[in-house]
Amino acid sequence: MLAFAVMRPVVILVSLLVAISVHAQEEITWRSEFGLAQAAAESGDLAAYLDHAARAVELGPDPLGRPFVMYHAARAAALGGDHDAALSMLGRIWDEGIEGPMATIAEEDPAFADTRELPGFVDFMKKVDNLELVVVPVIERVVQIEGAGCNLAAWIGDHEILLVDTGYPRVAASVRNALDAVAEAKPIRTIINTHEHTDHVGGNVLLGDAATIIAHPHARDAASKEQEFVHDFNLAAIPHDGLPQLTTAGSMTIHLDGETVLIHSLPAHTKGDLVVQFVESNVVHMGDNYFPGISSRLFPGAEIDLYFAAMSRVMEGVDEETRVISGHRPIVGGRDLIAAYESSRAIYDFVTLAIAAGESLETTLAKGAEKELPPDWIGYYYNTLSSGQE
């Protein structure tokens, strides 16, 4: 779809959303620049890589894509020998706070080998190590921890903690400190990884030493291998003692002290997504399957039928009073998720019936216009569902 579509999974999702959107020419422009930057990097044209990456940053990518674009601008500067500029851009990633810990990947990336020799890089990493995360109360026993790379959720019981996701590896100690401040140093007994990306599993080793870690089997398999971050640099596999011990490709129930925790498989963002529901607390953590404020609809991935079958089960436990946590966006109420689901489901049901009736895409679009359904999403659903029937 785009030249960089194999790189950063969050960027993959956002690029797909834009591809089926009729909005914001600015987004298309920064994506075009970023695509040119990726192509230049792969061809070894460092001057063009730096030029296009810098332009993409200044064109103002949306919140999901911005840290990754900035990382590339820093990387291009480092490869070009401008290490002060590289360090400055890493600092901007950190200071903007969208996904600040992404900048710590430079500690392992060979492109920054000389940048790491700067005294300022040492000072930067000291600042990282002194990070104080934000703890947001959600409801009596549930808090959200912000700033670790993704939004973590912690259920705090009388004797233990259940943690959803663990953030980037370098800030895992800060996660533990944040939990200690609100949970009186209770042990983490259970960790649920919503999927395998490093901003969600990077702290597994440090935080999971006394915990049972649960994930989708695909997520466990992916986390056990190197994962491509940019075209010539892979993130290391999660060490064995940080890999999930339990996996589920369907549903799972955990019974805690006064809390029922439901785990649902909901592949879309990756093949190994899980959604976590705290039944009595009426809280749901959608992982990276929901981006409120970025799109008013849900993106169901490539297996749309399976997605809606699974999502319908999730929605059975969602009402207007539900508190909804997502991987990278502020907490919203259940009303927002319900609206996103219902509008997405309406398109799905409409297109499914049209395909079953043998209607062409053109006819489906025309009938959809009469119902004021968005043509871009109709086209996406139609083409995806039709290809699955071939």
Query: Mind listing the pLDDT tens digit for each residue in 278-334?
Result: 999 999 999 999 999 988 899 999 999 999 999 999 999 999 999 999 999 999 999
- Identify the CATH number of the domain defined by range 9-129: 1.25.40
Summary count for the chain: helices (H), strands (E) = 14, 15
- 147 pLDDT higher than 90: yes
What proportion of the chain, given as a percentage, has pLDDT over 70?
Answer: 92
Strand pairing class (260-265; 274-278) = antiparallel
Considering only CA atoms, which of 102, 108, 89, 220 is closest in space to residue 150? 102
Query: Mind listing the pLDDT tens digit for each residue in 80-90?
Result: 999 999 999 99
In a 10 Å sphere around its CB, with 0-12 CB exposed, 13-18 middle and 19+ buried, how is residue 117 labelled?
Answer: exposed
pTM across the whole model: 0.92
CA distances from 343 to 39, 267, 349 (A): 36, 19, 10
Query: Mind listing the pLDDT tens digit for each residue in 186-217?
Result: 999 999 999 999 999 999 999 999 999 999 99
- 7 pLDDT higher than 50: no
Query: Mind listing the pLDDT tens digit for each residue in 232-286?
Result: 999 999 999 999 999 999 999 999 999 999 999 999 999 999 999 999 999 999 9
CB 93 within 8 A of CB 103: yes
- Identify the CATH number of the domain defined by range 134-289: 3.60.15.10
Higher pLDDT, 18 or 242: 242
Alpha-helical regions (H) of the chain: 9-19, 25-43, 46-58, 66-79, 83-96, 119-129, 172-183, 198-201, 204-207, 217-223, 304-315, 334-356, 361-370, 375-388
Q: Give me the mean pLDDT over the 372-385 stretch.
A: 95
